[in-house]
Structure 1
Amino acid sequence: MRGKERKVIDDARDQPLDKRVRFSLRLLESASTYKDIVVRKKDGFTQILLSTRSTYNNTLNREVMNEVKSALEKAAVDDSKFVLLSAVGSVFCCGLDFDNIVKHLKYNRKRATVKLVDTIKNFVNSFIEFKKPIIVSVNGPAIGLGASILPLCDVVWANEKAWFQTPYTRFGQSPDGCSTITFPKIMGRAAANEMLINGWKMNAQEACDKGLVSQVFWSETFTQEVMVRIQEITSCNSFVLENSKALVRYNMNVELKQANERECEVLKKIWASAQGMEYMLKYVQNKIDSF
């Protein structure tokens, strides 16, 4: 028996019989339902881990985004007090899968554009609409949409080796994830423009100083530090947690949804245009040539 499997079984054995049954059922449900994410139901919270098989480096295609959206919808109505979003491996999320986007846009561009942009819009809205706290554990690079969704979450902890970048202009793409609203509010207009227009690569401490990240932990103790704080939040009352988030986010959701709508409309225009397609093809080709 592999070590990971033994640990799962040992963890389950430490729980009362009824909890062990529910634990086993939830593990089976996760394994049978999702391909590109892992969902772990634990006492008090749900952990969603990016672990993509259909993409590299935890990039986001339609399948991955739909799976995360589905997991959030289920966590919204179960007994979880909050969600812990993290990733498997040394990369958190490299944003949209442009190889996949180009492949889809080559055929029936208008129809494919609508489908892709609607998936992004619904994915982002699932974060905006989620009423329970979302805690993010950033283990490595967060790029593009992988970075822009962070302000839509409630607490963001980062490994000291993590870094953050939204080089949209290099992709031939406009900003997404409500970053046109959240980034200027969090870090000020000048720093936001450096991120969204100039593609500033921000290290973990810089991200913390600018307010994109809550705390930075040493890489050697990152997982332990995260779990200590997770246990502290787990001990809180779920009603208090949800209502505390509602107070902090009061009147923000409408503005965020409007920003998401505007950003997605611009994406439709860019991806449906010949110039936008040309820029993306150049980016994908340059990426291939660099290997």
Structure 2
Amino acid sequence: MSIRTEIKGSAYWIVFDNAKRKNAISNKMYDELCKVMDDANENEDIMLTIITGEGEYYSSGNDFSPNETAGVDHSDLDYESGYSRWMRRLIRHTKVLIALVNGPAIGIAATTLGLFDYVVCSDSTYISTPFPTLGVCPEGTSSVVFERIMGTSNATEMLLFGEPMSAKQCLDRGFVSHVFPKAEFKQRAAALVEKYSKLPKHSVLASKELCRGQKWRREMLSVHNEEYDLLRKLFVHEDTINLIMNKFMKAKM
């Protein structure tokens, strides 16, 4: 399996279910993510959209295995990656987005957390943005959102230098609202969702629109487009190709 869903009352649960690969997000998973997020957004009974991971990881980010990257031409302006299509869904989503980060979140799984309305994590979590080691640049709107959340120096440490952020740092820097012990995470996170799902939907969704309405969406889409244009250029840079080959490809040979 790859993406699993379940509706519980007014909450639409989306689960990264690819634990054998640390919930790395494949092209097929991006297709599924876009579909289920559309389903949640169009369901009038839904107030909360929940994303979490199965197993030890929330998600290790994009799947860079040879099968996933073969034939992809980032210089083709008519090509849009699954990640980019998912980004547009996250930004345009009208339901309250909640991330239950059950373990490490890496790359796109880490940067997109800044687009969620509410984030909690387990004490086994770390947030990793290994852009310099891969020769790429910030994505997921993190080039703007991370600085707003945690300040310039902390954002620079992560986005330019690739330093990870521990669960405690996530809490101290205002990146998450709660850190729960790993053994209690599922139960306590689910209890929060159940508690919030009982609130009046018309009021909660109206407030979400007030906080993150069309002005915010236009800004975030513009940030995403700028990041994605730069990523296209970097992905076809010789140095970036070699760095990705060395990290992901040769290990498979």
Do they superpose with TM above 0.5? yes
Corresponding residue for residue 55 of structure 2: 89
**Aligned-residue offset at 1:256:** 0.6
Q: Decide which of 35, 39, 44 is 2:5's aligned counterpart.
A: 39
Give the 3 Å change call, closer, same or farther, for CA 108–182 of structure 1 in structure 2.
closer
Question: Aligned to 1:156, what secondary structure does the other structure show?
Answer: strand
**Aligned-residue offset at 1:49:** 0.2
Residue by residue over 1:36-66, the C-alpha shift from the partner in whole angstroms, topping out at 9 and shown as x without a partner, is: 100011111110000128x811112221112
**Aligned-residue offset at 1:102:** 7.0
Equivalent residues in 2 for 1:1-291, closer than 5 Å: 35-52=1-18, 56-78=21-43, 79-100=45-66, 103-105=69-71, 110-111=75-76, 115=79, 117-250=80-213, 251-285=215-249
**Aligned-residue offset at 1:272:** 2.4
Give the 3 Å change call, closer, same or farther, for CA 114–147 of structure 1 in structure 2.
farther
Higher helix share: 1
Residue by residue over 1:53-87, the C-alpha shift from the partner in whole angstroms, topping out at 9 and shown as x without a partner, is: 8x811112221112111111001111111111111
TM-score normalised to the size of structure 1? 0.81
The two structures, once aligned, show a CA RMSD in angstroms of 2.0
Q: Which has the higher contact order (CA 8 A, sep 6+)?
A: 2
**Aligned-residue offset at 1:275:** 3.0
More off after superposition, 150-159 vs 167-176 = 167-176
- Structure 1 segments (4+ residues) deviating >6 Å: none
Residue by residue over 1:208-248, the C-alpha shift from the partner in whole angstroms, topping out at 9 and shown as x without a partner, is: 11121111111121111112111111111111111111111
The one-letter amino acid of 2:197's match is: T
Gaps of 5+ in 1: 1-34
Give the 3 Å change call, closer, same or farther, for CA 235–279 of structure 1 in structure 2.
same
Instruction: Provide the rounded CA distance (Å) in 2 between the counterparts of 1:142 and 1:109.
Output: 24
Question: Aligned to 2:187, what secondary structure does the other structure show?
Answer: helix
TM-score normalised to the size of structure 2? 0.92
Instruction: Provide the rounded CA distance (Å) in 1 between the counterparts of 2:136 and 2:84.
Output: 15
**Aligned-residue offset at 1:283:** 2.0
**Aligned-residue offset at 1:284:** 1.6
CA contact (8 A) 2:65 2:249 kept: no
Give the 3 Å change call, closer, same or farther, for CA 244–48 of structure 1 in structure 2.
same
The one-letter amino acid of 2:116's match is: C
The one-letter amino acid of 1:244's match is: S
**Aligned-residue offset at 1:100:** 4.2
Give the total of aligned pairs: 251
Residue by residue over 1:189-220, the C-alpha shift from the partner in whole angstroms, topping out at 9 and shown as x without a partner, is: 11101011111111111011112111111112
The one-letter amino acid of 2:103's match is: G
